[in-house]
Amino acid sequence: MKLSNKFTMVRVLFAPVFFALYFLPIWTGAFALPCIALTVPLLLFAELTDYLDGKTARAKGEVSDFGKLFDPFADVVLHLTILLCLTLSKRMPAVIFVLLFYREFAQNFLRTVAAKSGTAIAARKGGKLKTVLYITAGFFSLALEFASRLGVVFASPTQTALNAVELALFILCAVSSYASFADYLVHFIPELKKKIDL
């Protein structure tokens, strides 16, 4: 496997590890601090691989249609895992998670159809912005969740403000995800119509 794809694979493999580390303290009633101490640096490295895989692919001439599909797939696997955990902890509203879930699978379907017709759909600026918002919202909400697990208590006005920011970030995730999906449709559907029978 090419080095760039190995970096991408890190995100896929880390997704179930994150899930286990996130819920282990809940399942066992212990290990809160060790799990947080492991989760944060590992998650930071996993997110860093999104930069490393692209940089490595360009530097080593490893850019490929497979990589263009594998990279966003890895992003979705990791980020939906994180957002699912936050939803199960009642931090992210379930309706927003469902909307994101539908969007990501619709995007995956579009990529599959395009690949069948010989077209690789690479990430566009809107998709990259959506990913940045997923990461921002995820880390912000995780920080609040982990603070709560460690017994950190904020004053009521501060907690209210933090909760409002958290919800606003989740809403921005939903809005940006559908805006970027619309952009993909506008950009690629005319091209696909030339190659397949829609």
Residues 126-174 have pLDDT tens digits of 888 999 999 999 999 999 999 999 999 999 999 999 999 999 999 999 9
Percent of the chain with pLDDT over 90: 73
Report the candidate in 164, 187, 89, 97 with the shortest Cα–Cα distance to residue 134.
97
What pLDDT is stored for residue 67 in this prediction? 84
Q: How far apart are CA 186 and CA 189, in angstroms?
A: 6
> How far are the Cα atoms of 87, 139, 151, 163 from residue 154, in angstroms, in the given order?
22, 18, 10, 11
Q: How far apart are CA 97 and CA 66, in angstroms?
A: 27
Please write the tens of the pLDDT for every residue from 103-114.
999 998 888 888
pTM value is 0.92
Lowest-pLDDT range, 12-16, 94-98, 173-177, 182-186?
182-186
Q: Tell me which of 17 and 109 has the higher pLDDT.
A: 17
Evaluate whether 131 touches 100 at the Cβ level (below 8 Å): no
Q: How far apart are CA 75 and CA 140, in angstroms?
A: 18
Please write the tens of the pLDDT for every residue from 56-84.
998 999 888 788 889 889 999 999 999 99
Report the candidate in 102, 100, 85 with the shortest Cα–Cα distance to residue 26.
85
Evaluate whether 26 touches 143 at the Cβ level (below 8 Å): no
Q: How far apart are CA 67 and CA 142, in angstroms?
A: 29
